[in-house]
């Protein structure tokens, strides 16, 4: 009897607002998925869309186009979700509003390792890219956090961003140095470097799934402790959180998610920043809600960006990395303009 009241209470704790926002986001998600399936260099009508999705025996051209787009759309949703959660994790681990893999130079680290892999170890499949990218991302993240958190005041946004920009610059010079004598590597790399979900297919999805699951599990389990961390290190320790271990695990989850995405889709910037800030603005600071909502918001934003890129760049496509830079960088600027200098 007691047991049920407790669980009922728990049910009540979930804020009404969260449910509303959740439903709204799901609706947006469905709309963006349908848009992603329907729009492109050839726009598909409703009937053909339904044929493509639910009637595998219908063989019209439109239905086949839709089936082609299914893998890309799923891949896009996964990338967006991973980047959203990764942003939320990184921001709360560093207690820093602008931590995003692209700003922190983690993407360039992944890029350097992928290029080295292509050049020196002759890797060529997504399954091999992903391990190199992960190692690169982890090493770069440690390096950038290390530099950024030196001195008094810990890792302020300014210090982290500068450390990230400097590291990015250094690493991209190395990338260039490796690539220039080898035009075949350059060609392979140039398309990867822009950041696009166009390469998404069933095999990249199946490679991605384990990384996504591990990252999401880490994120969801560390959320309550990260809430405590938001109160400050001292307070978190007082509440019985092992802050060192927590930071390590959560940061690992964040880097895992963004490293895997970068390996498969190329560097896509600003989704983590954008999704997490939007979500926090709407539902408040509780990470237990922010993390799942960031995943949804990231998926919606990336899918819509991808659709926009396909519409704007028609008959080709505008790579999604370009679109997200244009939506996301203004957000960075807005955050900076609003922030009090003390906190920078």
Partner 1 sequence: MNESMNLIIAGRTKRRRRFILVTILLAIIAFALCCSMLMLGNTIYPVSDVINVLLGEKVRGASFAVGTIRFPRMVAGVFAGFAFGISGHVFQTMLRNPLANPNVIGITAGSSAAAVFCIIVLHASNAFVSLASIIGGLATVLVIFLLSKGTSFSIGRLILIGIGIQAMLDAVVSYLLLIGQHHDVPTAMRWLSGSLNGSKMENLYPLMITVLILTPVIISFGRRLDMLELGEQMATSLGINTNKTRLMLIISSVLIIALATATTGPIAFVAFLAGPIAKRLVGVGFSTLIPAGLVGIILVLASDLIGQFAFVARYPVGVITGILGAPYLILLLIRMNRKAEL
Which residues would be at the binding site for partner 1 (CB under 8 A)?
A: 98, 102-103, 147-148, 150-153, 156-159, 161-163, 165-167, 169-174, 176-177, 180-181, 183, 186-187, 190-191, 193-194, 269-270, 316, 318-319, 321-322, 325-326, 328-330, 332-333, 336-337, 339, 341, 344
Residue number, 110 or 218, with CB nearest to partner 1: 110
Give me the phi and psi of 286, to 5 degrees please: -75, 115
Q: Are 105 and 140 in contact (CB under 8 A)?
A: yes
Q: State both tokens at 202.
A: 């069933």
In angstroms, give the least distance from the CB of 313 to partner 1. 8
Q: Are 86 and 212 in contact (CB under 8 A)?
A: no
Spatial CB neighbours of 327, under 8 Å, sequence gap ≥ 6: 270, 274, 301, 305
Residue number, 129 or 145, with CB nearest to partner 1: 145
In angstroms, give the least distance from the CB of 130 to partner 1. 22
Q: Where are the beta strands (DSSP E) in the chain?
A: none
In angstroms, give the least distance from the CB of 149 to partner 1. 8
Residue number, 82 or 273, with CB nearest to partner 1: 273
In angstroms, give the least distance from the CB of 340 to partner 1. 9
In angstroms, give the least distance from the CB of 277 to partner 1. 13
- Within the chain, how many helices (H) and strands (E) appear? 14, 0
The beta-carbon contacts of 218-221 under 8 Å, at least 24 apart in sequence, are 218/89, 218/249, 218/250, 218/252, 218/253, 218/256, 219/85, 219/88, 219/89, 219/250, 219/253, 219/254, 219/257, 219/291, 220/291, 220/292
Residue number, 287 or 307, with CB nearest to partner 1: 307
Q: State both tokens at 69.
A: 């787009």
Residue number, 97 or 253, with CB nearest to partner 1: 97
Please measure the distance between the N-terminal and C-terminal CA atoms of the chain and give it in whole angstroms: 51
In angstroms, give the least distance from the CB of 32 to partner 1. 21
DSSP 341: G
Number of residues in the chain:
344
Residue number, 60 or 149, with CB nearest to partner 1: 149
In angstroms, give the least distance from the CB of 158 to partner 1. 4
Residue number, 165 or 214, with CB nearest to partner 1: 165
Residue number, 174 or 282, with CB nearest to partner 1: 174
In angstroms, give the least distance from the CB of 195 to partner 1. 9
CA distance 89 to 219: 7
Question: Residue 214, CB half-sphere, CA atoms under 13 Å: how many?
Answer: 15
Residue number, 121 or 191, with CB nearest to partner 1: 191
In angstroms, give the least distance from the CB of 135 to partner 1. 20
Give me the phi and psi of 58, to 5 degrees please: -75, 130
Q: Are 75 and 205 in contact (CB under 8 A)?
A: yes
């Amino acid at each position: 009897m007691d047991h049920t009241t407790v669980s009922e209470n728990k049910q009540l704790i979930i804020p009404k607002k969260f449910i509303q926002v959740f439903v709204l986001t799901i609706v947006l998600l469905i709309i963006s998925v349908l848009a992603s399936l329907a729009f492109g260099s050839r726009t598909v009508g409703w009937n053909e869309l339904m044929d493509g999705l639910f009637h595998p025996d219908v063989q019209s051209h439109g239905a086949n186009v839709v089936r082609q787009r299914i893998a890309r759309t799923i891949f896009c949703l996964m990338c967006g979700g991973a980047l959203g959660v990764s942003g939320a994790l990184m921001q709360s681990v560093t207690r820093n509003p602008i931590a995003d893999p692209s700003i922190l130079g983690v993407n360039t680290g992944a890029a350097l390792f992928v290029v080295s892999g292509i050049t020196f170890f002759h890797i060529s499949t997504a399954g091999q890219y992903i391990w190199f990218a992960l190692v690169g991302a982890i090493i770069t993240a440690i390096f950038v956090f290390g530099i950024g958190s030196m001195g008094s005041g810990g890792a302020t946004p300014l210090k982290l961003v500068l450390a990230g920009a400097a590291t990015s610059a250094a690493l991209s010079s190395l990338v260039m140095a490796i690539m220039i004598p080898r035009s075949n590597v350059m060609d392979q790399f140039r398309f990867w470097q822009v950041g696009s979900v166009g390469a998404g297919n069933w095999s990249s999805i199946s490679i991605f799934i384990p990384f996504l699951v591990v990252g999401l599990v880490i994120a969801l389990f560390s959320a309550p402790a990260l809430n405590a961390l938001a109160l400050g290190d001292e307070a978190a320790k007082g509440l019985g959180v092992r802050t060192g271990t927590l930071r390590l695990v959560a940061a690992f989850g964040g880097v895992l998610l963004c490293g895997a995405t970068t390996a498969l889709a190329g560097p896509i910037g600003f989704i983590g920043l954008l999704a997490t800030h939007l979500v926090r603005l709407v539902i408040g600071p509780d990470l237990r809600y922010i993390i799942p909502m960031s995943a949804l918001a990231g998926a919606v934003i990336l899918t819509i960006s991808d659709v926009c890129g396909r519409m704007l760049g028609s008959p080709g496509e505008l790579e999604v990395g370009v679109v997200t830079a244009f939506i996301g960088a203004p957000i960075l600027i807005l955050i900076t303009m609003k922030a009090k200098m003390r906190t920078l």
